[in-house]
Structure 1
Amino acid sequence: MPTSADPVAALRDRLTAVDGRIADAARAVGRASSDLTRIVVTKFHPAALVRDLASLGVEDVGENRQQELTAKHGELPDLAVTWHYIGQLQTKKARAVRSAASVVHSVDRQRVADALDAAAGPDSPVLEVLLQVNMTEDPGRGGVAPADIRALAEHTATCATLRVRGVMAVAPLDEAPASAFERLARYSERVRAVVPDASWISAGMTGDFAEAIAAGATHLRIGSAITGPRPERG
Protein backbone atom coordinates (compact mmCIF):
# COMPACT_ATOMS: atom_id res chain seq x y z
CA MET A 1 0.00 0.00 0.00
CA PRO A 2 1.26 3.52 -0.68
CA THR A 3 2.44 5.55 2.26
CA SER A 4 3.05 9.21 2.86
CA ALA A 5 6.44 8.67 1.21
CA ASP A 6 4.61 7.88 -2.03
CA PRO A 7 2.07 10.72 -2.31
CA VAL A 8 1.41 10.37 -6.02
CA ALA A 9 0.55 6.68 -5.62
CA ALA A 10 -1.80 7.58 -2.76
CA LEU A 11 -3.37 10.26 -4.92
CA ARG A 12 -3.81 7.74 -7.73
CA ASP A 13 -5.52 5.30 -5.37
CA ARG A 14 -7.96 7.93 -4.11
CA LEU A 15 -8.71 9.04 -7.66
CA THR A 16 -9.30 5.46 -8.77
CA ALA A 17 -11.57 4.79 -5.79
CA VAL A 18 -13.71 7.87 -6.42
CA ASP A 19 -13.95 7.17 -10.13
CA GLY A 20 -15.10 3.65 -9.28
CA ARG A 21 -17.83 5.05 -7.04
CA ILE A 22 -18.89 7.48 -9.76
CA ALA A 23 -19.09 4.65 -12.29
CA ASP A 24 -21.15 2.53 -9.88
CA ALA A 25 -23.55 5.41 -9.19
CA ALA A 26 -23.98 6.09 -12.90
CA ARG A 27 -24.52 2.42 -13.70
CA ALA A 28 -27.17 2.15 -10.98
CA VAL A 29 -29.35 4.71 -12.76
CA GLY A 30 -28.60 3.63 -16.32
CA ARG A 31 -26.12 6.36 -17.13
CA ALA A 32 -22.62 6.15 -18.59
CA SER A 33 -19.80 7.54 -16.47
CA SER A 34 -18.22 8.81 -19.69
CA ASP A 35 -21.06 11.36 -19.86
CA LEU A 36 -19.94 12.88 -16.54
CA THR A 37 -17.21 15.44 -15.97
CA ARG A 38 -15.35 14.95 -12.71
CA ILE A 39 -13.83 18.22 -11.49
CA VAL A 40 -11.14 17.87 -8.83
CA VAL A 41 -11.35 20.80 -6.41
CA THR A 42 -7.86 21.73 -5.21
CA LYS A 43 -8.72 24.46 -2.69
CA PHE A 44 -5.75 25.28 -0.39
CA HIS A 45 -3.52 22.67 -2.07
CA PRO A 46 -0.34 23.76 -3.87
CA ALA A 47 0.08 23.99 -7.62
CA ALA A 48 2.28 20.91 -7.46
CA LEU A 49 -0.79 18.82 -6.62
CA VAL A 50 -2.51 20.06 -9.78
CA ARG A 51 0.53 18.98 -11.77
CA ASP A 52 0.39 15.54 -10.12
CA LEU A 53 -3.31 15.26 -10.92
CA ALA A 54 -2.64 16.12 -14.55
CA SER A 55 0.03 13.43 -14.68
CA LEU A 56 -2.66 10.95 -13.59
CA GLY A 57 -4.97 12.00 -16.40
CA VAL A 58 -7.12 14.59 -14.62
CA GLU A 59 -8.37 17.12 -17.16
CA ASP A 60 -10.63 19.36 -15.04
CA VAL A 61 -9.69 21.19 -11.84
CA GLY A 62 -11.70 23.64 -9.77
CA GLU A 63 -10.87 26.57 -7.52
CA ASN A 64 -13.08 28.43 -5.05
CA ARG A 65 -10.93 31.53 -4.60
CA GLN A 66 -9.75 33.96 -7.24
CA GLN A 67 -6.34 34.41 -5.63
CA GLU A 68 -5.63 30.68 -5.71
CA LEU A 69 -6.92 30.31 -9.24
CA THR A 70 -4.71 33.14 -10.46
CA ALA A 71 -1.63 31.89 -8.61
CA LYS A 72 -1.92 28.26 -9.69
CA HIS A 73 -2.75 29.11 -13.27
CA GLY A 74 0.25 31.42 -13.29
CA GLU A 75 2.55 28.67 -12.01
CA LEU A 76 1.19 26.14 -14.51
CA PRO A 77 0.52 28.17 -17.66
CA ASP A 78 1.08 25.30 -20.07
CA LEU A 79 -0.63 22.51 -18.14
CA ALA A 80 -3.28 20.77 -20.21
CA VAL A 81 -6.19 21.11 -17.79
CA THR A 82 -9.45 23.01 -17.89
CA TRP A 83 -9.70 25.48 -15.01
CA HIS A 84 -13.15 25.83 -13.43
CA TYR A 85 -13.96 28.72 -11.11
CA ILE A 86 -16.63 27.52 -8.70
CA GLY A 87 -16.61 30.10 -5.91
CA GLN A 88 -18.65 33.24 -5.36
CA LEU A 89 -17.52 35.98 -7.71
CA GLN A 90 -17.18 39.67 -6.96
CA THR A 91 -17.45 41.89 -10.01
CA LYS A 92 -14.11 43.53 -9.23
CA LYS A 93 -12.42 40.14 -9.63
CA ALA A 94 -14.08 39.26 -12.92
CA ARG A 95 -11.08 40.22 -15.04
CA ALA A 96 -8.68 38.11 -12.99
CA VAL A 97 -11.03 35.12 -13.04
CA ARG A 98 -11.63 35.43 -16.76
CA SER A 99 -7.91 35.52 -17.49
CA ALA A 100 -7.39 32.14 -15.79
CA ALA A 101 -10.63 30.15 -15.98
CA SER A 102 -12.25 28.48 -18.96
CA VAL A 103 -15.51 27.82 -17.09
CA VAL A 104 -17.21 29.91 -14.40
CA HIS A 105 -19.89 28.11 -12.37
CA SER A 106 -21.11 31.03 -10.28
CA VAL A 107 -22.90 33.63 -12.39
CA ASP A 108 -25.72 34.61 -10.06
CA ARG A 109 -26.69 38.14 -11.11
CA GLN A 110 -26.62 40.30 -14.17
CA ARG A 111 -23.77 42.48 -12.90
CA VAL A 112 -21.50 39.41 -12.69
CA ALA A 113 -22.38 38.38 -16.23
CA ASP A 114 -21.74 41.92 -17.45
CA ALA A 115 -18.40 42.14 -15.62
CA LEU A 116 -17.19 38.85 -17.11
CA ASP A 117 -18.31 39.94 -20.56
CA ALA A 118 -16.59 43.31 -20.22
CA ALA A 119 -13.39 41.59 -19.07
CA ALA A 120 -12.91 39.94 -22.47
CA GLY A 121 -9.93 41.07 -24.49
CA PRO A 122 -9.90 41.24 -28.28
CA ASP A 123 -8.51 37.72 -28.52
CA SER A 124 -10.31 36.17 -25.56
CA PRO A 125 -12.07 32.88 -26.23
CA VAL A 126 -15.76 32.60 -25.40
CA LEU A 127 -16.18 31.93 -21.67
CA GLU A 128 -18.44 29.06 -20.67
CA VAL A 129 -20.65 29.96 -17.71
CA LEU A 130 -23.22 28.33 -15.48
CA LEU A 131 -25.94 30.10 -13.55
CA GLN A 132 -25.69 29.42 -9.82
CA VAL A 133 -29.06 28.82 -8.18
CA ASN A 134 -29.76 29.56 -4.51
CA MET A 135 -31.44 26.41 -3.20
CA THR A 136 -32.21 27.90 0.23
CA GLU A 137 -34.67 30.40 1.65
CA ASP A 138 -31.77 32.66 2.68
CA PRO A 139 -31.39 35.53 0.19
CA GLY A 140 -27.91 36.16 1.57
CA ARG A 141 -26.61 32.90 0.18
CA GLY A 142 -24.94 32.83 -3.20
CA GLY A 143 -27.08 32.11 -6.21
CA VAL A 144 -29.98 33.53 -8.15
CA ALA A 145 -33.45 33.02 -6.70
CA PRO A 146 -35.37 30.34 -8.59
CA ALA A 147 -38.01 32.88 -9.62
CA ASP A 148 -35.32 34.93 -11.38
CA ILE A 149 -33.51 32.14 -13.24
CA ARG A 150 -35.14 32.74 -16.59
CA ALA A 151 -34.46 36.49 -16.52
CA LEU A 152 -30.80 35.88 -15.68
CA ALA A 153 -30.52 33.31 -18.47
CA GLU A 154 -32.05 35.75 -20.95
CA HIS A 155 -29.66 38.51 -19.93
CA THR A 156 -26.54 36.35 -19.87
CA ALA A 157 -27.39 34.90 -23.26
CA THR A 158 -27.09 38.42 -24.72
CA CYS A 159 -23.48 38.75 -23.52
CA ALA A 160 -21.47 38.32 -26.69
CA THR A 161 -18.42 36.68 -25.12
CA LEU A 162 -20.24 34.34 -22.74
CA ARG A 163 -21.86 30.99 -23.48
CA VAL A 164 -24.53 29.80 -21.06
CA ARG A 165 -23.97 26.09 -20.46
CA GLY A 166 -26.39 25.31 -17.63
CA VAL A 167 -26.85 25.59 -13.87
CA MET A 168 -24.91 25.00 -10.69
CA ALA A 169 -25.98 24.59 -7.07
CA VAL A 170 -25.01 23.25 -3.68
CA ALA A 171 -27.56 21.12 -1.85
CA PRO A 172 -28.86 22.81 1.35
CA LEU A 173 -27.84 21.24 4.64
CA ASP A 174 -31.45 20.99 5.82
CA GLU A 175 -32.79 19.12 2.78
CA ALA A 176 -32.16 15.64 1.47
CA PRO A 177 -29.73 15.91 -1.45
CA ALA A 178 -31.95 13.82 -3.72
CA SER A 179 -34.84 16.25 -3.26
CA ALA A 180 -32.63 19.30 -3.80
CA PHE A 181 -31.07 17.93 -6.97
CA GLU A 182 -34.47 16.98 -8.37
CA ARG A 183 -35.49 20.63 -7.91
CA LEU A 184 -32.29 21.76 -9.60
CA ALA A 185 -33.09 19.58 -12.60
CA ARG A 186 -36.42 21.39 -12.92
CA TYR A 187 -34.67 24.75 -12.67
CA SER A 188 -32.35 23.59 -15.44
CA GLU A 189 -35.38 23.27 -17.69
CA ARG A 190 -36.07 27.00 -17.23
CA VAL A 191 -32.61 27.81 -18.56
CA ARG A 192 -32.99 25.42 -21.48
CA ALA A 193 -36.23 27.17 -22.41
CA VAL A 194 -34.01 30.19 -23.15
CA VAL A 195 -30.81 28.44 -24.27
CA PRO A 196 -31.82 24.99 -25.57
CA ASP A 197 -28.31 23.49 -25.47
CA ALA A 198 -27.56 24.68 -21.89
CA SER A 199 -27.67 21.10 -20.62
CA TRP A 200 -24.93 21.15 -17.98
CA ILE A 201 -25.88 20.60 -14.35
CA SER A 202 -23.00 21.16 -11.93
CA ALA A 203 -24.06 19.42 -8.73
CA GLY A 204 -22.75 16.86 -6.30
CA MET A 205 -19.72 16.76 -4.08
CA THR A 206 -18.00 13.99 -2.11
CA GLY A 207 -20.96 13.24 0.13
CA ASP A 208 -23.82 13.50 -2.34
CA PHE A 209 -22.61 12.91 -5.87
CA ALA A 210 -24.60 9.67 -6.21
CA GLU A 211 -27.85 11.56 -5.63
CA ALA A 212 -26.70 14.26 -8.06
CA ILE A 213 -25.97 11.68 -10.76
CA ALA A 214 -29.40 10.13 -10.24
CA ALA A 215 -31.00 13.55 -10.76
CA GLY A 216 -29.10 14.24 -13.99
CA ALA A 217 -25.93 16.03 -12.92
CA THR A 218 -23.30 16.29 -15.64
CA HIS A 219 -20.46 17.89 -13.66
CA LEU A 220 -19.33 16.71 -10.22
CA ARG A 221 -17.14 18.80 -7.90
CA ILE A 222 -15.00 16.44 -5.80
CA GLY A 223 -12.39 17.69 -3.34
CA SER A 224 -10.77 15.99 -0.36
CA ALA A 225 -11.94 12.48 -1.28
CA ILE A 226 -9.38 12.76 -4.08
CA THR A 227 -6.89 15.36 -2.92
CA GLY A 228 -6.66 14.21 0.68
CA PRO A 229 -6.96 16.53 3.70
CA ARG A 230 -6.40 20.20 3.03
CA PRO A 231 -3.06 21.53 4.26
CA GLU A 232 -2.98 23.56 7.44
CA ARG A 233 -3.14 27.25 6.71
CA GLY A 234 -0.73 29.49 8.51
Structure 2
Amino acid sequence: MSTALADRLADVDARIADAARSAGRDLSGITRIVVTKFHPVSLVRELRALGVRDVGENRQQELTAKRDELADVVDLHWHFIGQAQTNKARAVRAAADVVHSVDRPRIADALDAAGSGDPLDVLLQVNLTDDAGRGGVAPRDVEALATHVAGLSTLRVRGVMAVAPLDEEPARAFERLRGSADAVRTVVPDATWISAGMTGDFPEAVAMGATHLRIGSAITGPRPVRG
Protein backbone atom coordinates (compact mmCIF):
# COMPACT_ATOMS: atom_id res chain seq x y z
CA MET A 1 0.00 0.00 0.00
CA SER A 2 1.24 3.48 -0.84
CA THR A 3 2.45 5.42 2.19
CA ALA A 4 2.11 8.62 0.16
CA LEU A 5 -1.58 7.89 -0.48
CA ALA A 6 -2.20 7.29 3.22
CA ASP A 7 -0.37 10.51 4.08
CA ARG A 8 -2.35 12.58 1.57
CA LEU A 9 -5.64 11.15 2.81
CA ALA A 10 -4.71 11.86 6.43
CA ASP A 11 -3.65 15.41 5.53
CA VAL A 12 -6.93 16.18 3.74
CA ASP A 13 -8.96 14.67 6.56
CA ALA A 14 -7.07 16.83 9.07
CA ARG A 15 -7.78 19.92 6.97
CA ILE A 16 -11.48 19.00 6.77
CA ALA A 17 -11.55 18.60 10.55
CA ASP A 18 -9.86 22.00 10.98
CA ALA A 19 -12.38 23.64 8.63
CA ALA A 20 -15.29 22.04 10.48
CA ARG A 21 -13.91 23.19 13.81
CA SER A 22 -13.44 26.75 12.52
CA ALA A 23 -17.02 26.78 11.26
CA GLY A 24 -18.40 25.37 14.50
CA ARG A 25 -19.67 22.30 12.68
CA ASP A 26 -19.86 18.64 13.66
CA LEU A 27 -17.45 16.64 11.51
CA SER A 28 -19.94 13.75 11.38
CA GLY A 29 -22.14 15.91 9.14
CA ILE A 30 -19.50 16.04 6.39
CA THR A 31 -18.91 13.24 3.85
CA ARG A 32 -15.57 13.15 2.05
CA ILE A 33 -15.90 11.71 -1.46
CA VAL A 34 -12.63 10.67 -3.14
CA VAL A 35 -12.77 11.33 -6.89
CA THR A 36 -10.79 8.59 -8.66
CA LYS A 37 -11.17 9.77 -12.27
CA PHE A 38 -8.66 8.05 -14.60
CA HIS A 39 -7.05 6.15 -11.71
CA PRO A 40 -6.94 2.34 -11.74
CA VAL A 41 -9.17 0.04 -9.73
CA SER A 42 -6.14 -0.87 -7.63
CA LEU A 43 -6.15 2.65 -6.19
CA VAL A 44 -9.81 2.30 -5.19
CA ARG A 45 -8.93 -0.92 -3.36
CA GLU A 46 -6.10 0.88 -1.54
CA LEU A 47 -8.45 3.70 -0.58
CA ARG A 48 -10.98 1.24 0.79
CA ALA A 49 -8.26 -0.41 2.88
CA LEU A 50 -7.58 3.07 4.30
CA GLY A 51 -11.20 3.44 5.32
CA VAL A 52 -12.64 5.29 2.31
CA ARG A 53 -16.22 4.31 1.58
CA ASP A 54 -17.42 7.12 -0.74
CA VAL A 55 -15.95 7.23 -4.26
CA GLY A 56 -16.78 9.61 -7.10
CA GLU A 57 -16.52 9.26 -10.87
CA ASN A 58 -17.09 11.81 -13.66
CA ARG A 59 -17.63 9.47 -16.60
CA GLN A 60 -20.33 6.83 -16.90
CA GLN A 61 -18.11 4.32 -18.68
CA GLU A 62 -15.47 4.52 -15.98
CA LEU A 63 -18.02 4.34 -13.19
CA THR A 64 -19.62 1.25 -14.70
CA ALA A 65 -16.30 -0.49 -15.36
CA LYS A 66 -14.91 0.16 -11.89
CA ARG A 67 -18.08 -0.87 -10.10
CA ASP A 68 -18.23 -4.07 -12.15
CA GLU A 69 -14.59 -4.88 -11.41
CA LEU A 70 -15.16 -4.21 -7.71
CA ALA A 71 -18.35 -6.24 -7.50
CA ASP A 72 -16.81 -8.16 -4.60
CA VAL A 73 -16.61 -4.94 -2.56
CA VAL A 74 -20.10 -4.35 -1.19
CA ASP A 75 -19.49 -1.43 1.18
CA LEU A 76 -18.41 1.26 -1.29
CA HIS A 77 -20.83 4.10 -2.04
CA TRP A 78 -20.54 5.26 -5.66
CA HIS A 79 -21.23 8.91 -6.57
CA PHE A 80 -21.70 10.01 -10.19
CA ILE A 81 -20.55 13.62 -10.32
CA GLY A 82 -20.13 14.21 -14.06
CA GLN A 83 -22.49 15.77 -16.56
CA ALA A 84 -25.40 13.39 -17.00
CA GLN A 85 -26.67 12.52 -20.49
CA THR A 86 -30.13 11.15 -21.17
CA ASN A 87 -28.85 8.37 -23.45
CA LYS A 88 -26.66 7.08 -20.62
CA ALA A 89 -29.24 7.40 -17.87
CA ARG A 90 -29.89 3.67 -17.62
CA ALA A 91 -26.19 2.86 -17.26
CA VAL A 92 -25.70 5.66 -14.71
CA ARG A 93 -28.70 4.45 -12.75
CA ALA A 94 -27.35 0.90 -12.70
CA ALA A 95 -23.93 1.91 -11.38
CA ALA A 96 -24.47 4.95 -9.13
CA ASP A 97 -25.76 5.13 -5.58
CA VAL A 98 -26.00 8.92 -5.83
CA VAL A 99 -26.20 11.20 -8.88
CA HIS A 100 -24.96 14.74 -8.18
CA SER A 101 -25.73 16.28 -11.57
CA VAL A 102 -29.47 16.41 -12.23
CA ASP A 103 -29.90 19.81 -13.88
CA ARG A 104 -32.97 19.54 -16.11
CA PRO A 105 -36.28 17.71 -16.21
CA ARG A 106 -35.24 15.51 -19.16
CA ILE A 107 -32.35 13.86 -17.33
CA ALA A 108 -34.50 13.44 -14.24
CA ASP A 109 -37.21 11.78 -16.32
CA ALA A 110 -34.65 9.48 -17.98
CA LEU A 111 -33.19 8.40 -14.64
CA ASP A 112 -36.69 7.85 -13.28
CA ALA A 113 -37.72 5.74 -16.28
CA ALA A 114 -34.63 3.57 -15.80
CA GLY A 115 -35.45 2.84 -12.18
CA SER A 116 -37.20 0.20 -10.16
CA GLY A 117 -36.92 -0.84 -6.57
CA ASP A 118 -35.17 1.47 -4.14
CA PRO A 119 -35.25 5.19 -4.96
CA LEU A 120 -32.09 6.81 -6.33
CA ASP A 121 -30.60 9.67 -4.33
CA VAL A 122 -30.07 12.72 -6.54
CA LEU A 123 -28.79 16.26 -6.14
CA LEU A 124 -29.79 19.21 -8.28
CA GLN A 125 -26.78 20.78 -9.97
CA VAL A 126 -26.84 24.58 -9.85
CA ASN A 127 -24.95 26.76 -12.33
CA LEU A 128 -23.20 29.50 -10.32
CA THR A 129 -21.85 31.28 -13.42
CA ASP A 130 -23.39 33.61 -16.00
CA ASP A 131 -22.60 31.08 -18.76
CA ALA A 132 -25.86 29.33 -19.65
CA GLY A 133 -23.87 26.72 -21.57
CA ARG A 134 -22.34 25.28 -18.43
CA GLY A 135 -23.91 22.40 -16.59
CA GLY A 136 -26.46 23.23 -13.95
CA VAL A 137 -29.86 24.79 -13.54
CA ALA A 138 -30.05 28.57 -13.13
CA PRO A 139 -30.62 29.48 -9.47
CA ARG A 140 -33.91 31.15 -10.34
CA ASP A 141 -35.18 27.83 -11.74
CA VAL A 142 -33.98 25.46 -9.04
CA GLU A 143 -37.23 25.49 -7.10
CA ALA A 144 -39.22 24.52 -10.20
CA LEU A 145 -36.75 21.70 -10.94
CA ALA A 146 -37.03 20.48 -7.36
CA THR A 147 -40.80 20.39 -7.72
CA HIS A 148 -40.51 18.34 -10.92
CA VAL A 149 -38.00 15.85 -9.55
CA ALA A 150 -39.85 15.47 -6.26
CA GLY A 151 -42.83 14.28 -8.27
CA LEU A 152 -40.92 11.34 -9.77
CA SER A 153 -41.53 8.11 -7.91
CA THR A 154 -38.06 6.52 -8.18
CA LEU A 155 -35.89 9.57 -7.42
CA ARG A 156 -35.23 11.12 -4.01
CA VAL A 157 -34.09 14.75 -3.94
CA ARG A 158 -31.31 15.06 -1.38
CA GLY A 159 -30.12 18.61 -2.00
CA VAL A 160 -27.94 20.63 -4.35
CA MET A 161 -24.53 20.49 -5.98
CA ALA A 162 -22.30 23.08 -7.68
CA VAL A 163 -18.79 23.88 -8.82
CA ALA A 164 -17.41 27.28 -7.82
CA PRO A 165 -16.57 29.55 -10.78
CA LEU A 166 -12.86 30.09 -11.40
CA ASP A 167 -13.19 33.88 -11.50
CA GLU A 168 -14.92 34.36 -8.15
CA GLU A 169 -14.09 33.91 -4.50
CA PRO A 170 -15.32 30.40 -3.63
CA ALA A 171 -16.94 31.54 -0.39
CA ARG A 172 -19.18 34.00 -2.24
CA ALA A 173 -20.20 31.35 -4.77
CA PHE A 174 -20.95 28.79 -2.09
CA GLU A 175 -22.99 31.35 -0.19
CA ARG A 176 -25.20 31.66 -3.28
CA LEU A 177 -25.44 27.89 -3.45
CA ARG A 178 -26.67 27.90 0.12
CA GLY A 179 -29.49 30.17 -1.06
CA SER A 180 -30.40 27.58 -3.70
CA ALA A 181 -30.34 24.89 -1.02
CA ASP A 182 -32.82 26.94 1.00
CA ALA A 183 -35.08 27.22 -2.05
CA VAL A 184 -35.02 23.47 -2.61
CA ARG A 185 -35.97 22.85 1.01
CA THR A 186 -39.15 24.86 0.54
CA VAL A 187 -40.18 22.02 -1.78
CA VAL A 188 -38.41 19.07 -0.11
CA PRO A 189 -37.83 19.97 3.55
CA ASP A 190 -35.39 17.11 4.23
CA ALA A 191 -33.17 17.84 1.19
CA THR A 192 -30.26 18.89 3.40
CA TRP A 193 -27.25 17.82 1.34
CA ILE A 194 -24.94 20.42 -0.22
CA SER A 195 -22.30 18.91 -2.52
CA ALA A 196 -19.62 21.56 -2.92
CA GLY A 197 -15.90 21.95 -2.52
CA MET A 198 -13.03 20.29 -4.36
CA THR A 199 -9.27 20.11 -3.85
CA GLY A 200 -8.75 23.87 -4.14
CA ASP A 201 -11.71 25.21 -2.20
CA PHE A 202 -13.13 22.67 0.22
CA PRO A 203 -12.38 24.69 3.38
CA GLU A 204 -14.55 27.53 2.04
CA ALA A 205 -17.28 25.01 1.17
CA VAL A 206 -17.25 23.61 4.70
CA ALA A 207 -17.57 27.15 6.08
CA MET A 208 -20.66 27.67 3.92
CA GLY A 209 -22.38 24.47 4.98
CA ALA A 210 -21.25 21.83 2.49
CA THR A 211 -22.14 18.31 3.56
CA HIS A 212 -20.37 16.45 0.73
CA LEU A 213 -16.86 17.33 -0.51
CA ARG A 214 -15.59 16.01 -3.85
CA ILE A 215 -11.81 15.76 -3.51
CA GLY A 216 -9.51 14.24 -6.11
CA SER A 217 -5.84 15.04 -6.67
CA ALA A 218 -5.14 16.24 -3.12
CA ILE A 219 -5.74 12.62 -2.09
CA THR A 220 -5.10 10.53 -5.20
CA GLY A 221 -2.14 12.47 -6.54
CA PRO A 222 -1.86 13.57 -10.20
CA ARG A 223 -4.15 11.82 -12.64
CA PRO A 224 -2.43 9.27 -14.90
CA VAL A 225 -1.71 10.44 -18.43
CA ARG A 226 -4.20 8.85 -20.82
CA GLY A 227 -2.87 7.60 -24.09
The answer as to 2:160 corresponding to 1:167 is: yes
The answer as to 2:92 corresponding to 1:92 is: no
Matching residue within 128, 145, 149 for 2:142:
149
Matching residue within 220, 223, 233 for 2:226:
233
Give the aligned CA root-mean-square deviation in angstroms.
0.8
Q: Distance in 2 between matches of 1:231 and 1:120?
A: 34
Alignment gaps of 5+ in structure 1: 1-6
Size of the aligned set, in residue pairs, is 226
- Give the secondary-structure state (helix, strand or coil) at the position aligned to 2:199: coil
Partner AA of 1:139 in structure 2? A
Q: Distance in 2 between matches of 1:16 and 1:33?
A: 15
The answer as to 2:16 corresponding to 1:22 is: yes
Partner of 1:223: 216
Partner of 1:32: 26
How is 1:1-234 mapped onto 2 (pairs within 5 angstroms)?
Answer: 7-79=1-73, 80-121=75-116, 124-234=117-227
Shift of 1:8: 2.2
Q: Distance in 1 between matches of 2:4 and 2:104?
A: 40
Shift of 1:192: 0.2
Q: Distance in 2 between matches of 1:193 and 1:110?
A: 18
Alignment gaps of 5+ in structure 2: none
- Give the secondary-structure state (helix, strand or coil) at the position aligned to 1:229: coil
TM-score, normalised by the number of residues in structure 2: 0.98
For residues 2-37 of structure 1, what are the alpha-carbon distances to aligned partners after superposition, in whole Å with 9 as ceiling and x for unaligned?
Answer: xxxxx5221111100000000001101111222100
Shift of 1:142: 0.1
How many percent of aligned residue pairs carry the same amino acid?
A: 72
- Runs (4 or more) in structure 1 with deviation over 3 Å come to none
TM-score, normalised by the number of residues in structure 1: 0.95
